[in-house]
Structure 1
Amino acid sequence: MNKTIYLAGGCFWGVQALLDRVPGVVATEVGYANGTVVNPSYEEVCTGATGAAETVFVTYDDEKITLVSLLRVLFDAIDPTTLNKQGPDIGTQYRSGIYYVDEKDKAICEEFLSRLQHAWSAPIVTEVLPLHNFYAAEEYHQKYLKKNPGGYCHIRLD
Structure 2
Amino acid sequence: MKDLYLSGGSFYGIQEVFSRVKGVVDTKAGYANSSMENPTKDNVDKGLAGAVECVKVTYDPKKIDIASLLALFFTIINPYTDGIQGKYKGPQYRSGIYYTSQEDTIQISYYMAFMANKGVRHQMTDNSFVINQYEGEGGRRPPIRTEAKELINFFEAPAEEQHYLRRNPTAYTPINIQLLEQVGAIEKIQEELESE
Pairwise CA RMSD: 0.9
Equivalent in the alignment of 2:82: 83
Instruction: Report whether the alignment pairs 1:143 with 2:142.
Output: no
SS state at 1:76 partner:
helix
Q: Tell me which amino acid in the other structure corresponds to 2:144.
A: I
Equivalent in the alignment of 2:135: none
Q: Percent identity?
A: 42
Equivalent in the alignment of 1:125: 145
TM-score, L = length of structure 1: 0.96
How much has 1:30 moved relative to structure 2?
0.3
How much has 1:154 moved relative to structure 2?
1.6
Structure whose residues are more often strand by fraction: 1
SS state at 2:76 partner:
coil
Alignment of 1:30-69 (within 5 A): 30-69=29-68
How much has 1:147 moved relative to structure 2?
1.1
Instruction: Report whether the alignment pairs 1:134 with 2:134.
Output: no
Aligned residue pairs total 157
Q: Tell me which amino acid in the other structure corresponds to 1:21.
A: R
Q: Tell me which amino acid in the other structure corresponds to 1:80.
A: P
Structure 2 unaligned segments of length 5 or more: list them. Answer: 120-140, 179-196
How much has 1:88 moved relative to structure 2?
1.2
Equivalent in the alignment of 1:103: 102
How much has 1:22 moved relative to structure 2?
0.8
TM-score, L = length of structure 2: 0.78
Highest relative contact order (Cα 8 Å, sep 6+), 1 or 2?
A: 1
How much has 1:49 moved relative to structure 2?
2.1
Q: Tell me which amino acid in the other structure corresponds to 1:115.
A: F
Would the aligned equivalents of 1:11 and 1:154 in 2 still touch at CA under 8 Å?
no
